[in-house]
Amino acid sequence: MGCLLALKDDDPDITLENAELAHKVSGGEDGYPDGFSGITRAQSNDDPALTDAHVVGGTAWFFSRDENVQAFDWLFVDEAGQVGLANMAAMGRAARNIVLVGDPRQLPQVIQGAHPNPANLSCLDWMLGEHATVPDDRGIFLPTSRRMHPDVCGFISEQVYEGRLTSHPDTAHQCVTGTALPEAGAFWVPVPHEENAQIAQEEVAAIGETVIELLGGSWTEKDGSTRPMREADIIVVAPYNAQVNALRDALPLGVRVGTVDKFQGQEAPVCLVSMTASSAEETSRGMEFLFSLNRINVAVSRAKGLALVFGAPRLREAKCDTVEQMQLVNTLCALGKYFWKRRQHLKRNTARWTTVSAELITEMSLQHEYLRPAGKRTSSRLGRGNPSEGAGILKK
């Protein structure tokens, strides 16, 4: 369908009328709208349409067939970060030129079993080597996000994309207003709890309070239009199915809840992330799973305007045995640092915000006493806030 949209632009070589597009589908529900035309959908690998078409879409199984060896000029591999080297070697025979399209900093390929290096890598990871983003001599890095508000993108860019990712100027309009929450950005929200591994009812309660607060506010799109917040505007992400089920039971039906695997490729004005485990030692699948940079990246970057990461304070105090583990924990710690730096910036540049010291910021009580408007501050402290991480802003 993307090819058809591209053909709407004037092209001297090919038009919508003489384009021949074919897609190998498995049959039944193929994802196309009812009555859709313009693409021949073939249910058999032997369908002549797959041989005659100018552009063919299919899976690795189709392009690995012997009859397709060198049958195409170009092979574009989508989501190459999830395509293994073996599959790439098999289907790479089909074309004289190969273009890998994808993001190796999102969820990796699913591997069943243990494979020696480099067979355990995706084709994109193998090509990039030690680089987090594609070097100029190996490909093209698309540096502009058209989804994330600059304050969300800033965190993601520094922690994941070597500072190379920026937001399109229009995304600066995206924000949540009319609530006691920040209007936009990525924030760490401490929720004290102990001895939780796969279910944290404290975080369920805190997220439930936050959803209620959000539904009383408004959302502004990148074009400047404003409307009331809706349940469908909120995504809630948790690492474990048990916590997902607990959140689903507690939240309105229209709020989307799931693991990060479910939401890759999706977006919403607001994303709420539940870390669930009380400490790194209590994680059921290990620190590398819970603190995975790829998973944090996918979760937070779903947000068009506001991302809140709920977690026990002890997670950011995890004992690390390797440099790699230190890097993982540092991502959570950076949420606090980024929040603090942005607040200082706003204090200097606008009179619309009031800076509040860390002594007055609660560590997310279940009574929803975090980020209260100025004049309604509380001095209660439920955690061990670090002044270098806790300075915040509250709207006048």
pLDDT in tens, 24-55: 887 766 667 776 667 888 888 888 888 888 88
| Residues 257-269 pLDDT 10s | 999 888 888 899 9
Whole-angstrom Cα distance, residue 206 to residue 368?
7
User: What is the pLDDT confidence band of residue 376, given thresholds at 50, 70 and 90?
Assistant: very low
Q: Is the dihedral of CA 317, 320, 323, 327 positive or negative?
A: negative
Q: Which of 37-46, 80-89, 190-199, 378-387 has the highest mean pLDDT?
A: 190-199
Helix (H/G/I), strand (E/B), else coil: 97: strand
pLDDT digits (tens, 9 = 90+) for 197-255: 999 999 999 999 999 999 999 999 999 999 999 999 999 999 999 999 999 999 999 99
pLDDT tens, 264-289? 888 999 999 999 999 988 887 788 88
pLDDT of residue 119: 74
Decide: helix, strand or coil at residue 393.
strand
DSSP one-letter code for 369: -
Residue bearing the bigger pLDDT, 337 or 214? 214
**What pLDDT, on the 0 to 100 scale, is given for residue 363?**
36
For 47-51, 300-304, 321-325, which range has the lowest pLDDT when averaged over its residues? 47-51
d(CA 1, CA 27): 17
Question: Is the model more confident about 394 or about 262?
Answer: 262
Average pLDDT on 107-120 reads 69
Question: In angstroms, rounded to a whole number, what is the distance separating the alpha carbons of residues 155 and 350?
Answer: 22
C-beta separation of 394 from 361 below 8 A: no
Would you state the structure tokens that stand for residue 125, as one six-digit string?
């990871």
| The residue to which tokens 């944290």 are assigned | 200
Structure tokens at 142: 């698309």
Place of tokens 């899976």: 59
DSSP string, 120-172: TSBHHHHHHTT-SS--TTT-----EESSS-HHHHHHHHHHHSTT--EE-GGGG
* pLDDT number for residue 53: 85
β-pair type (175-177, 218-220): antiparallel
Supply the pTM of this predicted model: 0.75
